[in-house]
């Protein structure tokens, strides 16, 4: 039994360790979007489905020896995929569908090894059941598998990411996979030894343990419970990463809780009991629905993360606890696991692929809460009448708040759009005929641009770009020194910085999201009213700058942050080199580092120091009556003189140091170190 346990543990550990490794490896190529993780999850769930289908097919239709020969051959072939380092030919040009590109990249890089890892759990459990037909609880190996996955996920943000570069992670994983392949071949050969029981073995090779054949209704319920677990995992992950950094820790937290529920429910000690979890489930579902729209949808992160994390865990305990209670006899386990993986794939596809094309904002989270309550009512239909009634009441309460949430998002919206990069809304606030009426561009619940509606105020700066902000000051300084200036802006938003343009100036906006360009051109007039020459470039800014000739910018504004999400590839040692290539000798790079949760200024200074550049921090705190927002900008230049102007020097602030802060590179960054 030990060889089976070791192989299953190794496969599950590698199966889930590779997910953050690959996602982080390709994250910089797709603008640091949280949707990269969602797409990766969708891919992994689909391949897991194919792996479980393969296991079910081989056990049903192949005799033991052909099973072993086929699987060994595939393992040997898969070694040719190593090491798992994505080729640079997969970098996007800017006009592709990122979802399909990521799926193709992952298939080419990790497809076959991941497929074979995904077959290991059900296949080896079937082999174990054949070798030890009298074993009491083969499903404990499923708990072991999920436990190994859990260890991998917890280890990544604490023991791997802070210390090991992305390249080293890929090489280390590849070595681990080669060792796993050797273990799996050993297990396969071991499974051909005679059974440890005199019980008859059917043609497919799995012992005919007692137990009725599952009904069609059982298969459908397995599918529904599994699908809802996967659905809510990705929906919650989307919700909590949409307005925070798209980093492995916040990807891994929900997935860790999801796996922990599998471990507890299948471990065999009855951790899940419907009578204990049913009440908290209904309460937490209602609380999460209420939190969606309370305070305008902007809940304090210290309250929101625990609420949604606990809520996801309770829901997953319900889904997976009910799944465990319905598990069939071991002879039917490959079909059972196949339905679980099919449900996982269906849930992943609904959130990762269907929802972005069907909905114009994040409706799926709220709808998932309603369906969870309805599924609870169905499961409890045979208990005392009051239980399903309470579940239906919870579904009604949840539906009411989800309805309010949808109304909050869509009420009076001029534009609502959604794609791979997130959701956009344009809404008017105040009286259009007054001097205070404004039009706002919202990314999720965070404002990304604002313009006055009054014709005489449309070309006034707003929000983060006031004349006393870091970017406003440096542009005014450059305008004093030259009749014409060249400005690059990473992140278009509403195009507000165009208000500073004069005739003869050149403003080039880099924007990865085509919908942002469309909204800025159609709903706001900054880009059309400015006398400056305007150019919009579609695609990831850094990749575009790497490919184009030097632009000789006077000012380059790095302002591509989505809410508080940080595209870390724009704040690395290598990224600074790309920016410097495009700057004049006295040019200034302005990093917008305003953030509720992270100290970003020390990161920029550490990178600048490595390049022997000069830095200043400008923090602007307008009074409450002002139309401007509080901002922090770090200005970086080769020229000390460029930052010595009174408009800069008189307001600069020191940048605090973070002890032990390592240089951020394309292979290494650590957001734990800079948490506020």
Above 90 in pLDDT, residue 32? Answer: no
What's the start-to-end Cα distance of the chain, in Å? 48
Q: What is the 3-state secondary structure (H, E, C) of 171-186?
A: HHHHHHHHHHHHHHHH
User: Are 368 and 228 contacting, i.e. CB atoms less than 8 angstroms apart?
Assistant: yes
Give me the pLDDT at residue 199, please: 47
User: Are 492 and 516 contacting, i.e. CB atoms less than 8 angstroms apart?
Assistant: yes
Total residue count of the chain as it appears in this document: 676
Question: Looking at the whole model, is its pTM more than 0.85?
Answer: no
Q: What is the dihedral of CA 68, 71, 76, 82, to 10 degrees?
A: -150
Strand order in the sheet with 446-452: 413-419, 422-429, 438-443, 446-452
Above 50 in pLDDT, residue 132? Answer: yes
Give me the pLDDT at residue 68, please: 92
**123 versus 390: which is more confidently predicted?**
123
Buried b (16+ CB within 10 A) or exposed e, 121-153: bbbbbbbbbbbbbebeebbbbbbbbbbbbbbbb
**460 versus 214: which is more confidently predicted?**
460
Residue keyed to tokens 């039994």: 1
The pLDDT mean for the chain works out to 85
Give me the pLDDT at residue 227, please: 95
Above 90 in pLDDT, residue 354? Answer: no
Express each pLDDT in 262-305 by its tens digit: 888 887 677 888 888 888 998 898 888 888 776 655 666 677 78
Above 60 in pLDDT, residue 562? Answer: no
Q: Percent of the chain beyond pLDDT 90?
A: 42
- Got the DSSP string for 29-46? GGTT-THHHHHHHHHHHH
Q: What domains lie within the chain, and their CATH numbers?
A: 1-210 (1.20.1250), 215-327+359-411 (no CATH), 466-674 (3.40.50.150)
Express each pLDDT in 76-110 by its tens digit: 999 999 999 888 788 887 667 788 899 999 999 99
- DSSP-derived letter for residue 265 is H
652 pLDDT band, cuts 50/70/90, is very high
Above 90 in pLDDT, residue 507? Answer: yes
153 pLDDT band, cuts 50/70/90, is confident
User: Are 510 and 567 contacting, i.e. CB atoms less than 8 angstroms apart?
Assistant: no
Mean pLDDT is highest, among 17-31, 528-542, 619-633, for 528-542
């Amino acid at each position: 039994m030990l060889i089976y346990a070791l192989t299953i543990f190794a496969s599950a550990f590698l199966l889930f360790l590779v997910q953050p490794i690959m996602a982080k490896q390709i994250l910089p190529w797709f603008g640091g979007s949280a949707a990269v993780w969602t797409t990766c999850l969708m891919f992994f769930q689909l391949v897991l489905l194919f792996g479980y289908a393969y296991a079910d097919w081989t056990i049903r239709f192949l005799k033991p020896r052909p099973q072993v020969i086929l699987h060994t051959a595939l393992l040997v072939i898969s070694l040719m995929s190593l090491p798992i380092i994505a080729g640079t030919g997969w970098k996007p040009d800017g006009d592709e569908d990122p979802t399909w590109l990521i799926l193709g990249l992952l298939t080419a890089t990790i497809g076959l090894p991941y497929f074979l890892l995904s077959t290991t759990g059900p296949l080896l459990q079937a082999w174990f059941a054949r070798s030890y037909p009298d074993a009491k609880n083969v499903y404990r190996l499923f708990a072991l598998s999920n436990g190994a996955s859990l260890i991998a996920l917890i280890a990544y943000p604490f023991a791997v990411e802070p210390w090991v570069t992305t390249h080293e992670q890929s090489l280390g994983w590849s070595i681990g996979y080669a060792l796993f392949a050797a273990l799996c071949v050993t297990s396969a050969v071991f499974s051909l030894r005679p059974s440890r029981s005199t019980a008859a073995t059917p043609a497919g090779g799995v012992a005919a343990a007692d137990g009725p054949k599952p009904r069609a209704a059982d298969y459908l319920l397995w599918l529904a419970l599994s699908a809802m677990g996967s659905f809510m995992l990705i929906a919650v992950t989307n919700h909590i990463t949409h307005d925070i950094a798209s980093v492995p820790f916040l990807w891994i937290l929900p997935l860790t809780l999801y796996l922990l529920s599998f471990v507890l429910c299948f471990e065999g000690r009855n951790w899940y009991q419907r009578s204990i979890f049913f009440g908290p489930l209904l309460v937490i579902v209602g609380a999460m629905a209420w939190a969606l729209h309370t305070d305008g949808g902007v809940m304090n992160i210290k309250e929101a993360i625990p609420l949604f994390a606990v809520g996801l865990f309770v829901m997953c305990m319900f889904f997976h606890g009910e799944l465990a209670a319905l598990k069939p006899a071991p002879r039917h386990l490959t079909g059972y696991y196949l339905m679980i993986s099919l449900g996982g794939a269906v849930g992943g596809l609904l959130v990762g692929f269907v929802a972005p094309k069907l909905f114009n904002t994040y409706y799926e989270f709220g709808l998932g809460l309603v369906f969870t309550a309805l599924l609870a009512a169905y499961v409890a239909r045979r208990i005392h009448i009051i239980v399903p009634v309470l579940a239906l009441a919870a579904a009604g309460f949840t539906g009411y708040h989800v309805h309010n949430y949808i109304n909050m998002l869509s009420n009076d919206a001029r534009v609502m759009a959604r794609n791979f990069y997130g959701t956009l809304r344009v809404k008017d606030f105040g009286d259009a005929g007054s001097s205070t009426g404004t039009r706002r561009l919202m990314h999720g619940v965070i404002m990304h641009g604002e313009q006055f509606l009054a014709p005489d105020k449309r070309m006034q700066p707003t929000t983060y770009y006031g004349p006393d902000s870091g970017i406003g000051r440096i542009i005014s300084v450059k305008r004093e020194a030259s009749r014409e200036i060249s400005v690059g802006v990473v992140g278009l938003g509403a195009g507000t910085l165009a208000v500073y343009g004069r005739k003869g100036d050149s403003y080039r906006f880099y924007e990865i999201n085509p919908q942002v360009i469309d909204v800025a051109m159609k709903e706001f007039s900054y880009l059309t009213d400015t006398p400056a020459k305007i150019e919009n470039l579609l695609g990831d800014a850094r990749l575009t700058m790497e490919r184009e000739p030097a632009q000789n910018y006077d000012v380059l504004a790095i302002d591509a942050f989505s809410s508080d999400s940080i595209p870390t590839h724009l704040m690395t040692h290598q990224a600074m080199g790309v920016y410097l290539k495009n700057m004049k000798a006295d040019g200034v790079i302005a990093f917008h580092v305003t953030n509720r949760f992270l100290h970003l200024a020390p990161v920029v200074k550490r990178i600048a120091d490595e390049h022997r550049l000069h830095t200043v921090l400008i923090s602007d705190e307008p009074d409450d009556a002002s139309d401007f927002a509080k901002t922090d900008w770090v200005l970086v230049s080769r020229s000390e003189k460029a930052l010595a102007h009174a408009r800069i020097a008189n307001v600069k602030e020191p940048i605090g140091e973070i002890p032990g802060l390592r240089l951020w590179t394309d292979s290494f960054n650590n957001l734990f170190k800079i948490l506020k």
